[in-house]
A and B are shown apart, each in its own frame.
Chain A
Amino acid sequence: AIQMTQSPSSLSAYVGDRVTITCRASQAIRNDLGWYQQKPGKAPKLLIYGASTLQSGVPSRFSGSGSGTYFTLTISSLQPEDFATYYCLQDYNLWTFGQGTKVEIK
């Protein structure tokens, strides 16, 4: 089974900061990776698919990059509504989530 290792598990940042979250796959997964945002009590929401394609309606401050085994999600200027938990999800072989990154207010 493909394992997804996400880091950091949590981070504290100020509004306006640039934030980067990484996800490593245990084997090459091409660009078969998505990023999801989850707020407390809500279902996960798709942000990015295909490693770098922004889902319709998602603000352009979110971006994704990577292929193979290393991927990043970047928020260029953190906004108050971005404080949430973020998950990567590989769809190369079945579906596996990363452990999540909780983004908190500093």
Chain B
Amino acid sequence: EVQLVQSGAEVKKPGESLKISCKGSGYIFSNYWIHWLRQMPGRGPEWMGGVYPADSDIRYSPSFQGQVTISVDKSTDTAYLQWRSLEASDTAMYYCARRDVVSGIIEWLDPWGQGTLVTVSS
């Protein structure tokens, strides 16, 4: 079974750093992009960026460029999302999702991880 398992919920203070993870299993991890998405309370998901584990190619949404860092460790089939200095506005659920493609152009996100709730509060 193809599966993405994310790290657990985090409660942090403003200014603190954080790194959350997403571990893939049931498929060849290196061959598929992993994307990160933010969902703020009561809102729809937003695409943040993604990483291609085979060559560590990373793409960011313009909205998140410079705000977060995406990375990957092929040896452990794990992708990461990190912040250097959290703000209260970073409070949200964060999902990872695998990008699949057919015919080189039709893409979708499936499966998704279970989500990591990040709460930033003083």
Which positions in A face B, CB cutoff 8 Å? 1, 30-32, 34, 36, 43-46, 49-50, 53, 55, 87, 89, 91, 94-100
CA distance in complex: A1, B46 (Å)? 13
Contact B44 A87 (CB under 8 A): yes
Instruction: Identify whether the interface residues of B are mostly helix, strand, loop, or mixed.
Output: strand
Contact A49 B106 (CB under 8 A): yes
Give the contacting residue for A43; candidates B47, B59, B115; CB below 8 A: B115
CA distance in complex: A2, B113 (Å)? 25
A-B CB contacts (within 8 Å), total count: 54
Decide yes or no whether B112 CB sits under 8 A from chain A.
yes
Contact A45 B112 (CB under 8 A): yes
Decide yes or no whether B108 CB sits under 8 A from chain A.
yes
Among all A-B residue pairs, the 6 with the closest Cβ atoms:
A49-B108, A95-B47, A43-B112, A46-B110, A50-B106, A91-B107
Q: Which B2-56 residues have a C-beta within 8 angstroms of A?
A: 35, 44-47
CA distance in complex: A55, B105 (Å)? 16
Contact A98 B44 (CB under 8 A): yes
CA distance in complex: A53, B95 (Å)? 24
- Interface size grouping (class) on chain B: 20 to 34
- Nearest-neighbour CB distance to chain B for A102, whole angstroms, equals 11
Give the chain A neighbours of B110 by CB distance below 8 A.
Answer: 45-46, 49, 55
Decide yes or no whether B121 CB sits under 8 A from chain A.
no
Known: A95-B35, A97-B44, A98-B44. A43 touches B106 (CB 8 A): no
Contact B108 A91 (CB under 8 A): yes
Known: A31-B106, A34-B109, A49-B106. A94 touches B61 (CB 8 A): yes
In this complex, the member of A34, A45, A50, A95 whose beta carbon has the largest number of chain B beta carbons within 10 angstroms is A95
Decide yes or no whether B82 CB sits under 8 A from chain A.
no
Give the chain B neighbours of A55 by CB distance below 8 A.
Answer: 108, 110
